[in-house]
């Protein structure tokens, strides 16, 4: 009996401690795109170190989840790495979109691939399966292996919208992987592969090719020369107020936008 009493006291004090901690400061929840997530986490850290009593929780889930979470009010802020779809606008008419940064999508090939440049039409042809050999676009004589992100990914949605257009579909036997990192591994180990990844994931293990002569650089993406650029959005249901507004102000401040640049994305201010 004595032991039981001790356990009860322990549990009760733990519960009290937990309640006490959460009651001390304000909290802000941010949910959605895994592309925006690392950036949002950095911004949240910066904001929290300036405002000690604020707790910001950032979780992934994908752009669609972000739209839903913001629209239904389960999160204070949603994250989306693509434009908001029309049906989402009808479902959540109050939704406000705040573009906090821009991100280029690079078309990458194996570093040994001699190809340097493709037109948007050629890229569309390759990903839709009407161009199947590198020699058709001026490369070596080898079959093209297409790799892509899975259905629902914000990067894929943005690629579909910006490159493929309304009717073209990614060919059925493309290798599908569920993260930018996995796609990069596929391309870096497959000599004849082509895929699309976020600028933030570019390194020497893959080679980004230029589109219509514009190299995949932040300058070209910012100037509009590089055509495949998408917005990174934070979403609020209605006009931002209170803590949400304070956080957004911080995101658009010089300090916040410097963080955007440091993370490899293109600042909006």
Partner 1 sequence: MQTKQNVDRVVRTILLISASFSIIIVISIFVFIFRSSLPAFSAFGLNGLLGQLTWRPANGSFGILAMIVGSVMVTLMALVIGVPLAIAAAIFLAEIAPRSVQAVVRPAVQLLAGIPSVVYGLFGMVVLVPLIRRIPVAGNSGYGLLSAAIVLAVMILPTITSISEDAIRAVPRSYKEASLALGATHLQTIFQVLLPAGKSGIGAALILGIGRALGETMAMIMVIGNSVILPAPLNDNPLTVFLSQARTLTGNIAVEINYASGLHASALFATGVVLFGLIMIVNVSARAIINRGNPSAG
- Contacts to partner 1 by CB under 8 A: 34, 60-65, 68, 143, 145, 150-154, 169, 172-178, 182, 185-186, 189-190, 193
What phi, psi does 29 have (nearest 5°)? -110, 135
**Contact between residue 175 and residue 145 where contact means Cβ atoms under 8 Å apart:** yes
* Nearer Cβ to partner 1 (77/186): 186
Q: Which residues of 50-67 are buried (b: 16+ CB within 10 A; e: fewer)?
A: ebeebbbebbbbbbbbbb
* Nearer Cβ to partner 1 (151/219): 151
Two tokens, residue 31: 């949910």
Element (H, E) at 30: strand 26-32
Find the shortest distance in angstroms from Cβ 54 to partner 1. 28
Find the shortest distance in angstroms from Cβ 158 to partner 1. 13
For 199: left if phi > 0, alpha if psi spans -120 to 50, otherwise beta; the answer is: alpha
* Nearer Cβ to partner 1 (192/236): 192
**Contact between residue 228 and residue 162 where contact means Cβ atoms under 8 Å apart:** yes
Find the shortest distance in angstroms from Cβ 192 to partner 1. 8
* Nearer Cβ to partner 1 (63/220): 63
Find the shortest distance in angstroms from Cβ 154 to partner 1. 8
């Amino acid at each position: 009996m004595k032991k039981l009493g001790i356990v009860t006291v322990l549990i009760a004090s733990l519960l009290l401690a937990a309640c006490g901690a959460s009651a001390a400061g304000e909290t802000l929840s941010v949910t959605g795109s895994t592309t925006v997530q690392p950036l949002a986490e950095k911004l949240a850290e910066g904001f929290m170190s300036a405002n000690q009593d604020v707790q910001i929780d950032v979780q992934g889930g994908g752009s669609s989840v972000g739209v839903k979470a913001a629209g239904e009010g389960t999160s204070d802020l949603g994250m989306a790495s693509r434009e908001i779809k029309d049906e989402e606008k009808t479902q959540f008419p109050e939704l406000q979109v705040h573009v906090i940064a821009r991100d280029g999508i690079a078309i990458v090939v194996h570093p040994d691939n001699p190809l340097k440049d493709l037109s948007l039409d050629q890229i569309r042809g390759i990903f839709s399966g009407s161009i199947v050999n590198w020699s058709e676009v001026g490369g070596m004589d080898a079959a093209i292996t297409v790799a892509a992100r899975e259905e629902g990914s914000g990067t894929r949605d943005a690629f579909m919208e910006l490159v493929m257009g309304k009717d073209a579909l990614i060919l059925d036997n493309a290798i599908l992987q569920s993260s930018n990192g996995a796609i990069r591994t596929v391309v870096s180990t497959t000599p004849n592969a082509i895929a699309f990844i976020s600028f933030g994931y570019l390194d020497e293990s893959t080679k980004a090719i230029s589109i219509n002569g514009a190299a995949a650089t932040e300058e070209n993406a910012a100037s509009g020369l590089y055509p495949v650029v998408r917005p990174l959005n934070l979403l609020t249901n209605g006009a931002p107020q209170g803590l949400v507004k304070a956080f957004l102000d911080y995101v658009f401040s010089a300090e916040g936008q410097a963080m955007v640049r440091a993370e490899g994305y293109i600042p909006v201010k």
